[in-house]
Structure 1
Amino acid sequence: MTNFLFCSMDAALIGDIAWQVSREGHDVQYYIHAAGDREIADGFVTKTDDWEAEIEWADVVVFDDIWVGNEVGTGKLAQELRERGTAVVGGTPNTDRLEEDRGYAMEVLADHGIETLEHQVFTDFDAAIDHVEANPAPYVIKPLGEVQNVKRLLYVGREDDGSDVVDVLRAYKKAWGHRMKGFQLQRRVEGVEIAVCGFFNGNEFIEPINFNFEHKKLFPGNIGPSTGEMGTSMFWAGRNELFRETLGKLEGWLAEEGYVGSIDLNCIVNADGIHPLEFTPRFGYPTIILQEESFETPTGEFFEALANGEDPGLEVHRGYQIGVRVVLPPFPFDDEATYAENSRNAAIVFEGAYPGVEGDRVTTSGTAPEGVHIEDAKRVENQWRAAGESGMPLVVTGKGETMREAREQAYARIDEIVIPNMYYRDDIGERWVDGEGDRLLAWGYLGP
């Protein structure tokens, strides 16, 4: 049995993983910094109000994000703890910077022989507008720093002359100029968007490698405002060309940094090549929930080995997996009145298809409905309820030998869940079924 300390130094994100590790028989303490999130995972895991007081008790410390409040900083905390001899899943100041400073991320890629798309970083809106007008093309606007967490500000240009990007930049200057201290303009490219994700143990990537497809827009068909994520589809494979030409080239650099954890590089792939877009040098959400669902190796055993620089011998489900985020109003927007009226403390009801579930009650305190994972949820007198302030109570997963089978299982499970006013995308994984998988195979990136 191992003592695990999970730390959310900003928003609460890692509750489901902490719960899973607890159910495997390990001792768990969970710290949440954000006051509005502190009820998340109540009734599922044991909490602490003072994470530093638990360091000597903990065998493994797990950080869930790069943010400490509004500042980047868990990499520094993780590095300091490692220097004191603590086993940590977490980054370093330089790996944190990969996400916070997109220009730096592109420099790291270029320094390691990875071709990047044309991009420029701006701190002045007028200079960016002049650049687009002088170099007409479709661009993507990517905010930098703390404001990048406002996901709806990411804008993908549609017009070949960049005129819509100019209009959006003028609007952002008026509405967000006081907060958006910088942004990157990246040339838009067409192809299949796929993320290459590896778990790194401080020395090397462990196998297998994860390949996942993000679904960031709110509505089916990939329309509407951008969200953190509405769902993910994925599979696991070996060190194929897609990995070797991206994360594989950073293996030595990550070893020098002493990075431990998940690192993800989102790319656009087409017949002409692989085009990296952005890093996630931490767990992705809900990606880590879906990854954990596909683990056949115990989760606690996996993270303990990873944090201690060992190869966990990870075994995973070898087919396909999808995860669907179930959300409540006003997600993805912030509106306290709407949330209070429609979503706060909403009951989560499980209907009769789940073993160990009767109506809205899980009949054994340690049991979860199969394939159902918590995000912003709590348990009060054995009834699950929405918690926190963001309106993301659940992630529902499915697995199958094909992507179609994984979709059928996940959506059948969602059909057995009732939460007033809940909504979700019903097309997670469809892009693969509709031809993205065939295209990646035809271009030769996935290999055997």
Structure 2
Amino acid sequence: MRILVIGSGGREHALAWKLNQSPLAEEIFVAPGNGGTQEHNVPVSDKDIDGLVKFVQEKKIDFVVPGPELPLTLGITDAMEAIGIPCFGPSKACAKLEGSKAFSKEVMVAAGIPTAAYGTFQDMEKAFAFIDKHEAPLVIKADGLAAGKGVIIAQSVQEAKDAAKSMLGDKKFGDAGNTIIIEEFLAGEELSLLCFCDGENALALPSAQDHKAIGEGDVGANTGGMGAYSPAPLAQDEELEKLADITVRPLLKEMAQRGTPFKGILYAGLMMTAKGVKVLEYNVRFGDPECQPLLMRMKSDILPVMQACVEGKLKEKNIALELYPQSALGVVFAAKGYPESYPKGMEITGIAAADALNDVKVFHAGTKAENGKTLSNGGRILCVAALGESLQEAKNKAYEAIGKIKMENSYYRRDIGDKGIKRLQNK
């Protein structure tokens, strides 16, 4: 099969790497790709739906795998279905679960899914009035897509008002902040639950935990993710089905009843609170950086699983996931200054030496290949992932590998996995 992966991040490098292992894969293209996928790259933007359709027709592509949320919210799956090409991802109607946090919350309430109490606002005075009636901390979210940065945890009423003003008044996130959601703050520990979905059935991947904050100890600005590991001791494998019953399957039923069955990967961002699990958000694609350690652990050929989801036949084909028993951990190597302003074009060395270590894979994200060199081309530049017999061993290997990589103005958290390791030690 000729396969097109859409996107340019670490997740897309991981998807191309995993798909390339399938005996069904004849040739893989990545649009537009990055420095790690340079042999497969095609110069078509991931938001150019017409250009992607044209490429698929010209190259006789058999299967399409969109990585990021943007092409999904723009309707890439609908466009591919219109020309008879299977596309592993939800329709535009379903992608609204990520494209609009207000819509997502409305669906959660309709489906009886536990989530934080909230209000939705387009008027700043009404938002301020809501804030005055509630105690801090409060969570302020831009309704639309903001590259993982449109969430502010306000520790005081004034901070909450400043955040609301920055979105509604100052347009910090552009049109994504024309509507905002103000939520109660949920205390607890976060967990990522990802499921392959075929419109009716859900097949859970192993548990994973992301690290959103830029700073060690989970402090500072929210990012797209600074590292992840799997499995997460916060939820054992036997608990995943119960969590899916509460947070994923009711959503699939609700979306099917609306005439828009969800097919693809559904990512439930969960908060494990003292009062039970609550859904923070849904994403309609693999998380990044959760994708990298999850795919390192996945022994099964991913392509038949994706095909069964598109065809609505997960149960009919008796699809199950075979996993490597080891733990996997990935550390994001970033440009100093991310998630705000940061330099680009810096040379990166040592990737090959890191990649050569046993059970290590360096996934490129914000990189580009130029004149035989690898240069930085984004904020999150690499995800250095490793397998280990324990979470501690996976962490040790990942940090040994990242220590071989050099770049000016670089930054990475040194505490990825520590929460999980501490939880295991306290058992």
Q: TM-score, normalised by structure 2?
A: 0.83
3-state DSSP class of the match of 1:88? coil
- Which residue number corresponds to residue 385 of structure 1? 374
Q: Distance in 2 between matches of 1:277 and 1:287?
A: 16
Question: Residue 111 and residue 170 in structure 1: after superposition, are their counterparts in 2 closer, same or farther (change >3 A)?
Answer: closer
- Which residue number corresponds to residue 214 of structure 1? 210
Shift in Å at residue 268 of structure 1?
Answer: 1.5
CA contact (8 A) 2:10 2:292 kept: no
Percent identical: 20
- Which residue number corresponds to residue 48 of structure 2? none
> CA offsets per residue over residues 119-176 of structure 1, 9 Å max, x none?
0011122221121113334210111124x3361x4211224xx343234434555533
> CA offsets per residue over residues 211-268 of structure 1, 9 Å max, x none?
2222111111111221111111222825432222111322334555343321111121
Question: Residue 107 and residue 353 in structure 1: after superposition, are their counterparts in 2 closer, same or farther (change >3 A)?
Answer: closer
Does 2:164 match 1:175? Answer: no
3-state DSSP class of the match of 1:419? coil
Q: Single out whichever of 421-430 and 345-354 deviates more from structure 2.
A: 345-354
Does 2:321 match 1:314? Answer: yes
CA contact (8 A) 1:42 1:378 kept: no
Shift in Å at residue 348 of structure 1?
Answer: 2.5
> CA offsets per residue over residues 45-74 of structure 1, 9 Å max, x none?
142544223434111111122314xxx734
Q: Distance in 2 between matches of 1:6 and 1:353?
A: 25
Q: Distance in 1 between matches of 2:118 and 2:346?
A: 44
- For 1:200, the aligned partner's letter is C
Question: Residue 59 and residue 301 in structure 1: after superposition, are their counterparts in 2 closer, same or farther (change >3 A)?
Answer: same
Question: Residue 433 and residue 15 in structure 1: after superposition, are their counterparts in 2 closer, same or farther (change >3 A)?
Answer: closer
Q: Single out whichever of 182-191 and 325-334 deviates more from structure 2.
A: 325-334
Question: Residue 401 and residue 22 in structure 1: after superposition, are their counterparts in 2 closer, same or farther (change >3 A)?
Answer: closer
3-state DSSP class of the match of 2:360? coil
Q: Distance in 2 between matches of 1:436 and 1:134?
A: 40
| Structure 1, unaligned runs of 5 or more | 33-37, 358-367, 440-448
Question: Residue 59 and residue 291 in structure 1: after superposition, are their counterparts in 2 closer, same or farther (change >3 A)?
Answer: same
Question: Residue 436 and residue 144 in structure 1: after superposition, are their counterparts in 2 closer, same or farther (change >3 A)?
Answer: farther
- Which residue number corresponds to residue 275 of structure 2? 272
Shift in Å at residue 424 of structure 1?
Answer: 0.7
Q: Distance in 1 between matches of 2:217 and 2:412?
A: 12
- Which residue number corresponds to residue 99 of structure 1? 98
- Which residue number corresponds to residue 245 of structure 1? 246
- Which residue number corresponds to residue 137 of structure 2? 138
CA contact (8 A) 2:139 2:152 kept: yes
Q: Distance in 1 between matches of 2:148 and 2:105?
A: 21
- Which residue number corresponds to residue 197 of structure 1? 194
Question: Residue 333 and residue 167 in structure 1: after superposition, are their counterparts in 2 closer, same or farther (change >3 A)?
Answer: closer
> CA offsets per residue over residues 317-341 of structure 1, 9 Å max, x none?
2343221111123422235xx33xx
CA contact (8 A) 1:141 1:154 kept: yes
Question: Residue 216 and residue 167 in structure 1: after superposition, are their counterparts in 2 closer, same or farther (change >3 A)?
Answer: same
Q: Distance in 2 between matches of 1:378 and 1:218?
A: 23
CA contact (8 A) 2:354 2:402 kept: no
Q: What pairs with 1:227-306 in structure 2 (closer than 5 Å)?
A: 227-235=223-231, 237-238=237-238, 239-253=240-254, 257-306=260-309
CA contact (8 A) 2:360 2:398 kept: no
Q: Distance in 2 between matches of 1:172 and 1:254?
A: 29
Shift in Å at residue 405 of structure 1?
Answer: 2.4
- Which residue number corresponds to residue 149 of structure 1? 147
Does 2:423 match 1:423? Answer: no
Shift in Å at residue 42 of structure 1?
Answer: 5.5
> CA offsets per residue over residues 327-379 of structure 1, 9 Å max, x none?
123422235xx33xxxx151332475754x8xxxxxxxxxx983211212344
> CA offsets per residue over residues 174-228 of structure 1, 9 Å max, x none?
533765311100000211211221111344212x433222211111111122111
- Which residue number corresponds to residue 35 of structure 1? none
Q: What pairs with 1:319-398 in structure 2 (closer than 5 Å)?
A: 319-335=326-342, 338-339=343-344, 344-350=345-351, 355=356, 370-379=360-369, 385-388=374-377, 390-398=378-386
| Structure 2, unaligned runs of 5 or more | 45-50
Q: TM-score, normalised by structure 1?
A: 0.80
- For 1:149, the aligned partner's letter is A
Question: Residue 352 and residue 78 in structure 1: after superposition, are their counterparts in 2 closer, same or farther (change >3 A)?
Answer: closer
3-state DSSP class of the match of 1:43? helix
CA contact (8 A) 2:194 2:286 kept: no
Q: Single out whichever of 394-403 and 215-224 deviates more from structure 2.
A: 394-403
3-state DSSP class of the match of 1:233? strand
- For 1:377, the aligned partner's letter is T
Aligned residues: 404
The alignment's C-alpha RMSD in Å is 3.0
3-state DSSP class of the match of 2:336? coil
- Which residue number corresponds to residue 31 of structure 1? 31
CA contact (8 A) 2:30 2:37 kept: no
Question: Residue 196 and residue 333 in structure 1: after superposition, are their counterparts in 2 closer, same or farther (change >3 A)?
Answer: same
CA contact (8 A) 1:60 1:88 kept: yes
CA contact (8 A) 2:114 2:247 kept: no
CA contact (8 A) 1:142 1:154 kept: yes
Q: Single out whichever of 230-239 and 419-428 deviates more from structure 2.
A: 230-239
Q: Distance in 2 between matches of 1:60 and 1:203?
A: 21
- For 1:110, the aligned partner's letter is V
- Which residue number corresponds to residue 47 of structure 1? 42
Question: Residue 84 and residue 354 in structure 1: after superposition, are their counterparts in 2 closer, same or farther (change >3 A)?
Answer: closer
